[in-house]
Amino acid sequence: MTDPHKGLTGLLDTEAIRKDFPILDRRVHDGKPLVYLDNAATSQTPRQVIDTLSTYYERYNANVHRGVHVLAEEATELYEGARDKVAEFVNAPSRDEVIFTKNASESLNLVANMLGWADEPYRVDRETEIVITEMEHHSNIVPWQLLAQRTGAKLKWFGLDPADGTLDLSNIEEVITEKTKIVSFVLVSNILGTHNPVEQIVRRAHEVGALVLIDASQAAPHMPLDVQALQADFVAFTGHKMCGPTGIGVLWGRQELLEDLPPFLGGGEMIETVSMHSSTYAPAPHKFEAGTPPIAQAVGLGAAVDYLTSIGMEKIAAHEKAITEYAVRRLMEVPDLRVIGPTTAEERGSAISFTLGDIHPHDVGQVLDEQGIAVRVGHHCARPVCLRYGIPATTRASFYLYSTPAEVDALVDGLEHVRNFFG
């Protein structure tokens, strides 16, 4: 028999990597090995991050910035050290451009609110326009709908190609105009897997003086991310999809913008002085981090960044490309299976959505789960994509640095079982 994995190149040593992730040894449903293919929702956490979190609570836990005792100073050093690590991970020109939030959703909402309260030239009002795309996660749709409702600004978006899940940019000059204040779009779609053409969009946005926000939630975990190369004004991502803990997100923003733009949340940590009449604010990033920040979570994210860096983001990207190529190829062999999104591994991330004949994705997910295979089903918080393609939902398998070709095979066998189950 020929080896189906022959010819797969660029794979990581998953046998070694999987030893770092204790949860991957779990068995579910009467002893079936866990096949975890829900990484676009949340990735698993390596021992190195879990240990960092335990050590933090066992030895250093204290509030940051305002203490004079040893623990407060050490906790502050760890928290600010995590900022250094994240800044380096995304090639930020300055550590002060890295704002810690609780997740990508908060990062995106933060920008929408900054712009709603900003003075000229950034202010969004009834004379101006906001541009997004039809493939955004709800986290990059709803904040802009709210801003449009509150300010009277017009919300516009790029549609999708009817066939292949890419953006239709044929009308870019009509969508992004002199009235556009902000263009906010996803780098890699969580539902379609599409990797969007950043350069073309950023160039047009900057040509008309609009700001650019990139949602890199599905990119930061999977490929080298260089905020300077992207040439955007803001970049958002989330810790729990990149081997970090939940409760931590990042907003990177260009320093001069962060200096000019107003804070969103008020409270401790973000002020310089306060009187009963008014307050002045601390410089960025603290201006945007009101209250006690997610300290342990930031420290955990710093450990996640160390972990990913030690393996190498280029190598992780190459591994996922090989797995994704193999997965798309194998999935397309399953009768009645339709991939919703690009069908080549070029310019695509490792989340693959599909439908299987008339079988409802919830049924697909349940029968796969009974076999120990964890996938996600539903609209993946990107319902406009489902509406666009006339489907109620999809099943989504998504891969990461510890995913193996054997897990792809398990998924394909599992889908065969689903087809038999439903006749």
- Where does this chain bind ligand PLP (CB under 6 A)? 103-105, 137, 139-140, 186, 190, 215, 217-218, 238, 381
In whole angstroms, give the CA distance from residue 123 to residue 3.
Answer: 59
CA neighbor of 167 nearest in space, from 341, 386, 378: 341
Residue closer to ligand PLP (CB basis): 165 or 372: 165
Residue closer to ligand PLP (CB basis): 43 or 139: 139
Residue closer to ligand PLP (CB basis): 111 or 367: 111
CA neighbor of 89 nearest in space, from 220, 256, 197, 279: 220
CB of 104 to ligand PLP, least distance (A): 4
Within 13 Å, how many C-alpha atoms sit on residue 33's CB side?
9
According to DSSP, the β-strands at 271-274 and 279-281 are antiparallel
Burial zone of 308 (CB within 10 Å; 0-12 exposed, 13-18 middle, 19+ buried): buried
CB of 353 to ligand PLP, least distance (A): 12
CA neighbor of 36 nearest in space, from 405, 402, 413: 402
In whole angstroms, give the CA distance from residue 89 to residue 341.
Answer: 29
CB of 365 to ligand PLP, least distance (A): 16
CB of 138 to ligand PLP, least distance (A): 8
CB of 218 to ligand PLP, least distance (A): 5
Contact call for residues 334 and 356 (beta carbons, < 8 A): yes
CB of 70 to ligand PLP, least distance (A): 33
Contact call for residues 333 and 412 (beta carbons, < 8 A): yes
CB of 344 to ligand PLP, least distance (A): 21
* 273 Rama sector, left if φ>0, alpha if ψ -120 to 50, beta otherwise: beta
* 104-117 vs 142-151: helix crossing angle, rounded to 10: 20
Residue closer to ligand PLP (CB basis): 140 or 404: 140
Query: What are the backbone angles phi and psi of residue 156, rounded to the nearest 5°?
Result: -125, 165
Alpha carbon of 342 to those of 108, 163, 336, 338: distances in Å?
26, 9, 17, 11
> Beta partners for 214?
185, 235
Residue closer to ligand PLP (CB basis): 38 or 97: 38
In whole angstroms, give the CA distance from residue 71 to residue 28.
Answer: 41
Residue closer to ligand PLP (CB basis): 110 or 261: 110
Residue closer to ligand PLP (CB basis): 105 or 128: 105
In whole angstroms, give the CA distance from residue 245 to residue 74.
Answer: 20
Q: Which residues are catalytic?
A: 381
- Report the first-to-last Cα separation within the chain, whole angstroms: 29
